Structure 1
């Protein structure tokens, strides 16, 4: 192994010492895992009817957003075409 590889390995081992990893894992366990458990406890199971209602709502909302996106794209295309026409007129003068 070259001197550079040895020094890189030594530096990595110093940075990732077992105490540092253990401390990071304890911090993760104490801060993140309880939040996950809390979220799991708050999950509500919907009935099939409620699921169907939410699915319908989502699909309707998605359709509305797609129509809006289509309008935005159409307006952008018209605006760009208009700008090109203005630019061509400017160059033609």
Structure 2
């Protein structure tokens, strides 16, 4: 079974020792294999994911949305997710 992945970014804001706002960026992988989609914080059974959509930003990247039976989950991405979305649609159509 094929596995697909895309990198997403989480930005955490912290105040440092000098009371300056720091933006700490961490990268994580969203993985999909036809049985489930797994992020660093969540695990979704494939049958519980209804759709994946994307809102691009003019400066590149965008937000990837997972539409699930638990709600909509958003992931900040820096790359074009077209291959990831297409893989989802292909896997989802063969899942039924």
Quick check: which one's helix share is greater?
A: 1
TM-score greater than 0.5 by the shorter chain = no
Highest CA radius of gyration, 1 or 2? 1
TM range, smaller chain: under 0.3
Quick check: which one's strand share is greater?
A: 2
